[in-house]
């Protein structure tokens, strides 16, 4: 969860907000979509979260 949260924070760090909502759920808010449409933001989120995680030296795919 920490690794996924860190990826979400990095994506939204300039103009958004990310919070852990409950368990494995996160909520993200984007102030403006001037730079990125909601659709492209969703695609980036899926891409970021589906990349391989390295946990204790092992590759993990979610």
Higher pLDDT, 38 or 58: 58
Looking at the chain, the whole-number percentage of residues with pLDDT higher than 90 is: 19
C-alpha span between 26 and 8 (Å, rounded) = 9
Considering only CA atoms, which of 59, 50, 49 is closest in space to residue 26? 49
Q: Is 8 exposed, middle or buried (0-12, 13-18, 19+ CB in 10 A)?
A: buried
Tell me what the mean pLDDT of segment 5-15 comes to. Answer: 78
Q: Average pLDDT for residues 24-51, to the nearest whole number?
A: 80
pTM comes to 0.67
Could you give the 3-state DSSP secondary structure of residue 14? coil
Q: What is the mean pLDDT of residues 3-19?
A: 79
Q: How far is CA 10 from CA 28, 31, 58, in A?
A: 12, 15, 22
């Amino acid at each position: 969860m920490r690794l996924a949260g860190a990826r979400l924070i990095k994506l939204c760090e300039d103009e958004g907000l990310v919070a852990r909502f409950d368990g494995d759920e996160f909520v993200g808010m984007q102030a403006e979509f001037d730079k990125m449409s909601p659709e492209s933001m969703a695609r980036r989120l899926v891409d970021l979260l589906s990349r391989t995680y390295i946990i204790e030296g092992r590759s993990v795919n979610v």
